[in-house]
Amino acid sequence: MNFTDALRETVKLVETGKITTFGKSFDSTWVTLKQGDPSFHLIGSLYVASRAGIQINADCPKQVRDYVMLALKSRWIEPIATVPKNDPTLMWDTLQS
């Protein structure tokens, strides 16, 4: 298995909450949320906030900023949030849906 295949396999294991090490599997205590998942946004009485995002510094060259914006619009780059499975807001959102 080459490095790229190993990386893809690791990503799959992390995304499914299963991590394999030394031939043994165990459940992760973390969950990865993607944009569009029910718990990705935190909803308060007066606001809605994303759990994750990106910030482009004002000193970032315009060409780089434009490439990042293209990648975000094309969904080549997506914000994700990794939170504990026992996060109270995650459990509340799960109960509501």
Are 78 and 51 in contact by the 8 Å Cβ rule? The answer is no
What pTM value is reported for the model? 0.52
pLDDT digits (tens, 9 = 90+) for 40-78: 888 777 888 888 888 899 999 999 999 999 999 998 988
Q: Tell me the domain boundaries of the chain.
A: 3-87
Predicted pLDDT of residue 37: 81
Predicted pLDDT of residue 28: 66
Stronger pLDDT, 96 or 90, i.e. the higher one: 90
Predicted pLDDT of residue 95: 45
Neighbour-count burial of 40, counting CB atoms closer than 10 A to its CB (0-12 exposed, 13-18 middle, 19+ buried): middle
Torsional sign, CA 48, 32, 58, 74: negative
Three-state SS for 41?
strand
For the segment 4-18, the average pLDDT, to the nearest whole number, is: 65
Whole-angstrom distance, CA of residue 66 vs CA of residue 17: 34
